[in-house]
Amino acid sequence: MLRYIYADELNRFPELANSMFRDRADQFKTRLGWEVSVDENGEERDQYDDLNPLYVIWEEADGRHGGSMRFLPTTGPVMVNEVFGHLTGGAPICSPLIWECTRFCLARDASPNVAAALMLGGGEIMTGFGIRHFAGVFDARMVRIYKAIGSSPEVLGSEGTGRDRISVGLWEFTPEARERVAKRAGIPPELSRLWFSSAFGTVKTTRFAKAG
């Protein structure tokens, strides 16, 4: 199932949280060779995890992490501006209607529907919080995945070639895209909405940390 959890609530789901950060280390450090920090417990975190981001996590039947994404509003510190701002010509992306999506991670044994399920969860956030776009950085390997899911971004800028190419993109979530992604995920839209409503109820508020 899809869970929507702020960072300050992760202690309520210790196995889910710990396996998420371990899978992040496995994907970004071990498999992709990114220069990321991994702690003594084999978990990957960065400074943006300290800003109380909202995570969308696919929870497997045994309570472990199957896949996840991380969201922060672009009105505060975000990777797309602080690390990859040169890809958009130095013009920061800053709007209450645009959130950043980062750390798209899949467990090694994730089922084929998990990637699409996460994108469906992102769409629920857009609908539920009135967000117009997600901004994010992605590498060349993700292009095929986005096309297969049926939710490709508008590319704002890129650098590099071949497998080393990275880009900044903007995603929107139209009703047509939701239908395609839900079908790909094998999740009825009504069930997807129920999971979101169970997390936030009828009143949805954000609880991101303020930049200090």
Over residues 180-194, the pLDDT tens digits come to 899 999 999 999 999
Q: Is residue 207 in some structural domain?
A: no
Neighbour order of strands in the sheet with 133-139: 2-6, 54-59, 65-73, 98-106, 133-139, 166-171, 154-159
CATH code of 94's domain:
3.40.630.30
Q: Is residue 171 in some structural domain?
A: yes
Q: Is residue 113 in some structural domain?
A: yes
Strands 65-73, 54-59: pairing is antiparallel
Q: How many domains does the chain have?
A: 1
Considering only 32-41, 59-68, 133-142, which range has the smallest mean pLDDT?
Answer: 133-142
Percent of the chain clearing pLDDT 70 (strictly above): 96
Which residues constitute the domain of residue 53? Answer: 2-200
Tell me the mean pLDDT in the region 194-203.
86
User: How many angstroms separate the CA atoms of 125 and 86, rounded?
Assistant: 27
User: How many angstroms separate the CA atoms of 185 and 164, rounded?
Assistant: 28
User: How many angstroms separate the CA atoms of 11 and 186, rounded?
Assistant: 30
Q: Is residue 85 in some structural domain?
A: yes
Q: Is pLDDT larger for residue 178 or for residue 121? A: 121
Q: Is residue 208 in some structural domain?
A: no
Question: Which pLDDT does position 201 carry in this prediction?
Answer: 80
Q: Is residue 212 in some structural domain?
A: no
Q: Is residue 170 in some structural domain?
A: yes
For the whole model, what pTM was predicted?
Answer: 0.91
Q: Is residue 210 in some structural domain?
A: no
| pLDDT higher than threshold 80 for residue 151 | no
| pLDDT higher than threshold 80 for residue 210 | no
Question: Which pLDDT does position 211 carry in this prediction?
Answer: 47
SS3 (DSSP) at 144: helix
